[in-house]
């Protein structure tokens, strides 16, 4: 019960931060102040809130869970590749979008696309695809909150109540505090994340009697493969470097780039981003791997047994049985189990608050959706002109309530795995949308029809992958079910974890085809007027 | 020349991320960190250093100057 009380105190603190931000902004019912904190965030808040915005529940729970079953490869797949690609895209794209936002007053990516390519309804199409890909994050955040509170309280706080509390707290501070409240809460949460990794590592390391014995034991056991990447294909590892391209295409990240007071504030963010990723992910991945040496936690033993049965008998099982074993072996709660085993109660509560901080990362997505709706739909189709800016901000607030209620209602009814899958597709979808930004900012010759082709392709590709994975059951571990091959070359296959196209993850062909479509369609369609191009590229040729 | 070197550095780091040389090694650095994980940790520090180089030698300061010199369009309209 003590950990649950500490977590409730944490939730109260977060709520207070949001309301404090509201009082700081009182009397300024301007859309730019509410949705972008008047483009005035300082360097410290900008670095930590941008980083925190990008760190979902997956950073702590998912990374250790993935490492528990797949080993150290988790860090190379998801963390170090992000540590290179994300700051690079912030450096190249984020700074330029910030400058255009300052010059022309843009508050969303779609506003920029509409202006850059002289389009209206194509911008609406981009808005729809972005919004549909973003909603699952909000739902999964509420689901994660309900599950975490249930686990931390030892079942005392039921799932529906935990989910409702998390939804209410997030909704309240986003509703009152807008971007300023969200940024301050994210900063607070990121500091908690950073402390979490180091403290968890020390406490669990001491509890296990040092990591040398555990690592040596693992090396000399049948699970030694967890210390290497021998079970992961080089194609799969390479494919993962395309996933972080999604970060800059996420509307909540791009909108966040507009909040910096000065462009210099990007400098610290770009330089320290890889270090922040290292500080959070390395301990979580390491602990996830080492959890395999813990012999006295029955739940961890049960997961290992499920994994062993799946590995040895999976090929002869029905798809449903395999899926059931996969769920049993999932390691998303190993960090919490390790903390329950090795951390004192009060510390487990503090660390539980750190986990809640990760789970509650859906605040930025809620605010981004509200900003996009009020700017790209309400204001664009005349609402702001007719009713004024104050009504626009109130509309944004009502939208926040509606989207949170919708997400909570869905979270109570739908199984979590559906949305985990949706998020998987969403990463690939946003990565496939990234050529829109590159073309808009760096290529004079790009056109609105190229942008439409990229948007339609992304939507169709995400639907195709989802339908394919739903209709072809996942095969047993270590086996790829080839669906289509040409002259001995594997074209399309169902893998235990997803889909492979020419042995790559779908994100690779999705991004490449997006880029090609933008190029080919733009070559044969009419360019925007010279006056528009001059606003983006000056008078010279580019 | 400076830009070319930086582009080469980015490409080199991207290739170095693939780390095919420690793919199957379970050697433990300091007796407890698997070499593959240690390598990727060092890679993250190298990525941070590369970002410092980019920020120091290729910072798009012209964008900031443009913003300071141009009055905001929606406010002047």
Q: Residue A380: which of A57, A202, A125 has the closest Cα?
A: A125
Supply the pLDDT for residue A285.
92
Of the candidates A103, A228, A270, the beta carbon closest to that of B73 is on A103
ipTM of this complex: 0.94
Supply the pLDDT for residue B74.
63
Residue A441 and residue A97 in contact, taking contact as beta carbons nearer than 8 Å: yes
* Residues A77-86, mean pLDDT to the nearest whole number: 94
Quote the percentage of chain A above a pLDDT of 90. Answer: 45
Supply the pLDDT for residue A81.
94
Provide the domain limits for residue B49.
2-76
Supply the pLDDT for residue A1.
67
Q: Is the pLDDT of residue B76 over 70?
A: no
Q: Is the pLDDT of residue A448 over 70?
A: yes
Q: Is the pLDDT of residue A371 over 90?
A: yes
Supply the pLDDT for residue A541.
45
* Residues A432-457, mean pLDDT to the nearest whole number: 97
pLDDT tens for each residue of A294-343 = 888 899 999 989 988 888 888 788 888 888 888 888 877 788 788 888 88
Residue A270 and residue A83 in contact, taking contact as beta carbons nearer than 8 Å: no
| pLDDT band at A90; cut points 50, 70, 90 | very high
Q: Is the pLDDT of residue B72 over 80?
A: no
Alpha helices in A153-264 (DSSP H): 159-207, 211-219, 234-239, 245-249, 251-257
* Residues A46-71, mean pLDDT to the nearest whole number: 81
Residues of A in contact with B76 (CB under 8 A): none
Of the candidates A80, A229, A289, the beta carbon closest to that of B23 is on A229
Distance CA A88, CA A130 (A): 22
Give just the sign of the alpha carbon dihedral A226, A229, A230, A231.
positive
* Residues A439-446, mean pLDDT to the nearest whole number: 96
Quote the percentage of chain A above a pLDDT of 70. Answer: 95
Q: Is the pLDDT of residue A17 over 80?
A: yes
Q: Which A positions 33-72 lie with beta carbon below 8 A of chain B?
A: 72
CA atoms within 13 A on the CB side of A377: 15
Residues of A in contact with B7 (CB under 8 A): none
Supply the pLDDT for residue A542.
43
Q: Is the pLDDT of residue B77 over 50?
A: no
* Residues A349-365, mean pLDDT to the nearest whole number: 75
At residue A228, φ and ψ (nearest 5 deg) are -130, -170
pLDDT tens for each residue of A118-164 = 999 999 999 999 999 988 888 877 887 787 778 777 788 888 898 89
* Residues A64-91, mean pLDDT to the nearest whole number: 93
More confident residue, A193 or B53: B53
**Helix, strand, coil shares, percent, chain B, to 5:** 70, 5, 25
Q: Which A positions 208-247 lie with beta carbon below 8 A of chain B?
A: 210-212, 214-216, 219, 224, 227-230, 234, 237-238, 241
More confident residue, A124 or B69: A124
Here the tokens at position A396 are 């944004």
| pLDDT band at A389; cut points 50, 70, 90 | confident
All domains in chain A, ordered by first residue: 2-417 (1.20.1730.10)
CB contact under 8 A, B34 and A228: yes
Supply the pLDDT for residue A280.
86
Residues of B in contact with A83 (CB under 8 A): 43-44, 47-48
Q: Is the pLDDT of residue A27 over 60?
A: no
Residue B31 and residue A66 in contact, taking contact as beta carbons nearer than 8 Å: no
pLDDT tens for each residue of A183-242 = 998 898 888 878 877 888 888 888 888 889 889 999 999 889 999 998 889 999 999 999
Q: Residue A270: which of B22, B56, B19 has the closest Cα?
A: B56
More confident residue, A358 or A210: A210
Please tell me the total count of domains within chain B. 1
Question: What's the burial of A526, exposed, middle or buried (CB within 10 Å: 0-12/13-18/19+)?
Answer: exposed
CB-based contact, A285 to chain B, within 8 Å: yes
């Amino acid at each position: 019960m003590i950990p649950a009380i500490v977590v409730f105190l944490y939730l109260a603190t977060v709520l207070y931060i949001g309301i404090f931000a509201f009082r700081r902004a009182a009397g300024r019912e301007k859309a730019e102040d509410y949705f972008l904190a008047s483009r005035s965030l300082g360097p410290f808040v900008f670095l930590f809130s941008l980083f925190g915005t990008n760190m979902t529940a997956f950073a702590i729970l998912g990374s250790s869970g993935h490492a528990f079953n797949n080993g150290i490869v988790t860090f190379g797949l998801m963390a170090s590749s992000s540590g290179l690609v994300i700051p690079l895209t912030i450096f190249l794209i984020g700074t330029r979008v910030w400058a255009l936002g300052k010059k022309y007053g843009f508050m969303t990516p779609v506003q920029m696309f509409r202006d850059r390519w002289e389009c209206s309804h194509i911008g609406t199409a981009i808005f729809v695809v972005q919004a549909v890909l973003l909603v699952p994050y909000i739902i999964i955040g509420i689901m994660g909150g309900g599950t975490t509170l249930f686990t931390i309280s030892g079942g005392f706080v039921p799932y529906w109540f935990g989910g409702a509390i998390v939804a209410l707290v997030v909704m309240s501070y986003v509703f009152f505090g807008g971007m300023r409240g969200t940024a301050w809460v994210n900063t607070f949460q990121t500091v908690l994340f950073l402390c979490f990794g180091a403290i968890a590592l020390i406490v669990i390391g001491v509890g296990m009697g040092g990591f040398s014995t555990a690592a040596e034991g693992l090396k000399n056991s049948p699970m030694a493969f967890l210390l290497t990447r021998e079970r992961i294909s080089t194609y799969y590892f390479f494919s993962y470097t395309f996933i972080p391209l999604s970060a800059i295409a996420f509307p909540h990240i791009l909108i966040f780039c507009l909040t910096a007071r000065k462009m210099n504030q990007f400098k610290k963010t770009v330089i320290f981003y890889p270090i922040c990723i290292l500080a959070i992910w390395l301990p979580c991945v390491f602990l996830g791997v080492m959890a395999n040496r813990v012999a006295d936690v029955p739940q961890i033993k049960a997961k290992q047994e499920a994994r062993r049965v799946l590995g040895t008998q999976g090929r002869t099982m029905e798809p449903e049985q395999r899926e059931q074993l996969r769920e049993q072996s999932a390691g998303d709660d190993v960090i919490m189990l390790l903390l329950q085993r090795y951390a004192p109660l009060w510390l487990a509560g503090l660390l539980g608050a750190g986990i809640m901080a990760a789970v509650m990362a859906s605040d930025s997505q809620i605010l981004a959706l509200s900003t996009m709706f009020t700017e790209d739909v309400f204001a664009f189709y005349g609402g702001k002109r007719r009713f004024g800016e104050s009504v626009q901000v109130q509309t944004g607030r009502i939208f926040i309530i509606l989207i949170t209620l919708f997400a909570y209602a869905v979270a109570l009814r739908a199984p979590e795995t559906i949305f985990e899958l949706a998020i998987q597709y969403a990463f690939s979808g946003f990565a496939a949308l990234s050529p829109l930004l590159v073309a808009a900012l760096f290529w004079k010759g790009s056109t609105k029809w190229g942008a439409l082709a990229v948007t339609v392709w992304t939507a169709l590709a995400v639907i195709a992958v989802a339908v394919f994975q739903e209709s072809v059951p996942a095969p047993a571990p270590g086996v790829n079910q080839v669906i289509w091959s040409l002259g001995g070359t594997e074209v399309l296959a169902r893998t235990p974890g997803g889909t492979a196209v020419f042995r790559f993850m779908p994100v690779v062909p999705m991004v490449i085809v997006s880029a090609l479509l933008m190029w080919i369609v733009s070559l044969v369609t009419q360019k925007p007027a010279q006056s528009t191009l001059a606003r983006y590229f000056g008078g010279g040729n580019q | 020349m400076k830009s070319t070197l930086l582009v080469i550095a980015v490409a080199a780091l991207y290739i170095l991320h693939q780390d095919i040389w420690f793919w199957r090694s379970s050697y433990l650095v300091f007796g407890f960190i698997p070499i593959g994980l240690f390598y990727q940790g060092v890679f993250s520090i190298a990525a941070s250093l590369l970002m410092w180089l980019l920020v120091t030698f290729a910072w798009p300061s012209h964008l900031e100057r443009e913003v300071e010199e141009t009055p905001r369009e929606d406010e002047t309209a």
